[in-house]
Structure 1
Amino acid sequence: MSNQQNKQHAGQQLRAVSYARISLDRREGAGVERQQADTRKLADLHDLDVVAELVENNVSAWSGKKRPEYARLLDMIRAGQVDRVLVWHTDRLHRNVGELVDYLDLTRSHGVKTLAKQGNGYDPEAADGKFLATVLGAVAEQESDHKSERVRRAIRQSRERGEVQRTRYRTFGYEHDGETIVETEAQFLRDAARRVLDGDTLRRICREGQTAGVTTTTGGTMTTTALRRLLLNPRIAGLSSVAVAGHDRPREVIGVGQWEPIYSPETHEQLVAALTNPNRATNREGTAPRHLLTGIATCVCGGTVCASTAPANRQGVRHPIYRCRTKRDNFTPGPHVSRRIADLDGYVKAYVLDMLARMDLSDYLTSTTDDGGKLDRLLTERARLETVLDDLEARYLTLRTDRERAQWDRLNRATLDALDETTRAIDDAAGDTSAVAQLVGVTDIAEWWEGAELDDRRGVVAELVTVRLLPVPRGGRGFDPEYVDIRPRRAD
């Protein structure tokens, strides 16, 4: 007989936890108050002792974003503190089949049943319980996919007509309405475009802009990555576009916008050609390092590496290499090693990008910053605000009346202002102590890497990993990752 059955026979109440998730889309169902009221009635009906009421604040079950209250629910189940989970509808918990299956495995191993006010709950111990739950989860996931596809199709049609897009962030150079030009910012973009086409570097333009007080629309530093993205954005040239799959690829222009351009479409085409040219230099100033791992990777002897050129091979080709600086300067005895720059850079880049893709940026930054939890709270608030903006953006094309649009405008503006303030606070809390902090808000790490200046990429590599080159056995040919010792600086 299970512990739950023992409790029931002894007249003890089973422990229950209710879980509610807020959705800004009113068509999605009940608000949180209604959800909680219904789960309380469910608890009374089954004579359950509600030990906790968990409310997920504006986080979609299918967005993939971190859900702290859901994680807390799983922890309570693992700790044996829960006998029943109460929800208004099971789609409040999951819209992803893989996540649902993990949940069912966990609840089955701990004898926990899920009760729902609307629709069917989950009884993982029943013969067909897991099957039915998985089918329900698959249906909910399909509904989410269909909804996302409808939204994407509506957005594309709107952009083909050149309509002004009201998105979460104010575009640099324009007011929040997406049409009114901010002349000081527009002039900065015109000057930057002219200088790039004349061969100037993004780094120099940004440095001079920072001195003049130029910031992003969120109050952050105008970095080379941010400026490059702006100059590649067709919107600045009065063109409507959609994103294209693939890293560092220009957006697809699908219409002429119904707003005033800051510079001409011809200038935009010239900028795309210049900024996507692989032969464009990204670091031309002084004697600063021109390669990713100069002064970062180390030889087996402990000395750092520098860029050099290998002797000519049988075909007369001389490949750029990293070689030990101490060997070059005759400081220490060997052994010393070398590697082709292209091979080692490519390997380290892939390692770091994979590391960043798996990293919880919030956890990383808060663990490296001693501020009494302030940064953690700011990052949590930023994630919440971004989820609100996700829902607002999805709702915009469904608005029908002027009153609805006015309400949407007020909420969107208030949320954007709050996001601006929170992002500035994050920059103040972490921006000066971590090179990785510049990735806050970046949705495509690989795209950021391709557009980032060399110094920014070097800073991230130096902060995250150590790279040590090991001797290759005699007779070894080609690049072998086995003889590169790359390790995270911080244990997971």
Structure 2
Amino acid sequence: MGVAHAAGEALGFSVVNTKTLARRTVAFLYARISEDPRDRRRGVNRQMNDLRTFAEENEWEVGGEYVENDVSAHSGEERPEYDRLMADAIEAAREPGVCVIVVGYHPSRLWRRRVERAQAIEDLRLSGCWVAFESGGSFNMAKASDRSQLANLGESDTAESEVKSERVARAALERAQEGRANGAVAYGWRRQYEYDARGQVSGFHDVEDPVQAEVVRDIVTRLLAGASVIGITADLNERGVPAPGAGMTLKRRAVGQNADGSLWNKTSVKKLALRPANVGIRVHQDVEYRAAWPALITDEQYAQLRNLFAERAGVRALPGARKHLLTWGEIATCGPCGAVLRVARRGNAKRGRKQLTYICDAKGCVGRNVDALNGYVARVVVGLLSRPEAADVFRGDDSAALAALERAEGLKARQEAAADDYADGVITRDQLRRITGKLAKQITDAQAEARRLRPAFDLDAFDGLVGPRSAETWEALEVPQQRRVLDGLGLRLKVNPVARRGPGFDESTVALRWARTEG
């Protein structure tokens, strides 16, 4: 009996005419596991070993091996190895005298989605390929009956995945409503497990990790003090502070991240600072729930951070690269045309007078010596900050924020009342769900409004800024930090053309306005 004849019998189809059989039978092996977050690859290795044995027992030539670990076939995420498998199999089938077999451990390993399975069946039909599974079953894609059987077999896999997906989604919503964490413990907290009388894990709760929580607070405080993300990142790495995920084996790392994940990057610093989890907020499908874990920073700090980065998004120069106090942004503008200011060298180079000058970015309407204008702004700012009542300028009015918080608490009370009504049989379960869902959205909106209305400046991050040490403190601040103070004060200045020529700085040509001190 020839090799092709034996391969045909091994596949389960009767051999009628040996002259028409392929001279070679080439198998393409595919192994996949949906979840393996630690990338141990034990499951896919077992699958591939079994597939190799399966091919060897049937005397098939192995044309290629394709492995995808920790990759779902139901979610629709990209599967590059699967794409390569299909392309290679179809290409091999074009060779005369070759019988191509796509081999998987089980139909669910190859396909979970209807659309993807239907497309594969059609592509393999046109190529005259076979499909076989180590767990049992072989299908000739040239036959309508085999294609129908494979499609029906896969439908049960799809239905199973959809039922599981719905069950997982419902459980995830329940965890969110209860404020419980989803997955591994987040950076800044540590997990404490709860045990029943038999010593088995019955639950868990997350508590503050003193070391990691202090890192989070330090990052937030420095950002609010005007430090740049790039500078904070460099400092954390220089001090050897382990980044979130350090030592964990992950299949994906951020761009520029090292293999063991120990180094910080500017993206990880920013994301860590802006997490809603920091203020005890659990987010699920864009809806916020009160978390069961303790907050690491205040609502005021969180609101200030969000406002800070929203402001930075509209500024052309990054804070970490800012060298001059009054360039780019709405703090200082050209009086005649309203354009922002930039810095250039102006003056008579031959006489040694070419100096750094603030100029209108649009038309060059105005120009001021950088040191002179900075000095004038410093004198005005220090004069304001040295006054005893200066701290009141940064505090803002909390009345609207408190009203929003009170509204949120009232809505929570209504939720609890609805739960009591359900327990007493006054309302049905469906009514309770509708009431709870509507109130949850209203509570989220009220809490978000309260955070938005909080003061946008953290005076505690600038020790000594207000009072008798204001001049000394101001001089010690870096340019981004000084800019942060001007933002907090609401300073707006317009630079007008000079009315006279001569030595000295003409203060009358600069119009100042303090938005936060008006009224």
Range of TM-score over shorter length: 0.3 to 0.5
Q: Which has the higher strand share?
A: 2
Q: Of the two, which has the highest radius of gyration?
A: 2
Q: Which of 1 and 2 has higher RCO (CA within 8 Å, sep 6+)? A: 1
Q: TM-score normalized by structure 1?
A: 0.45
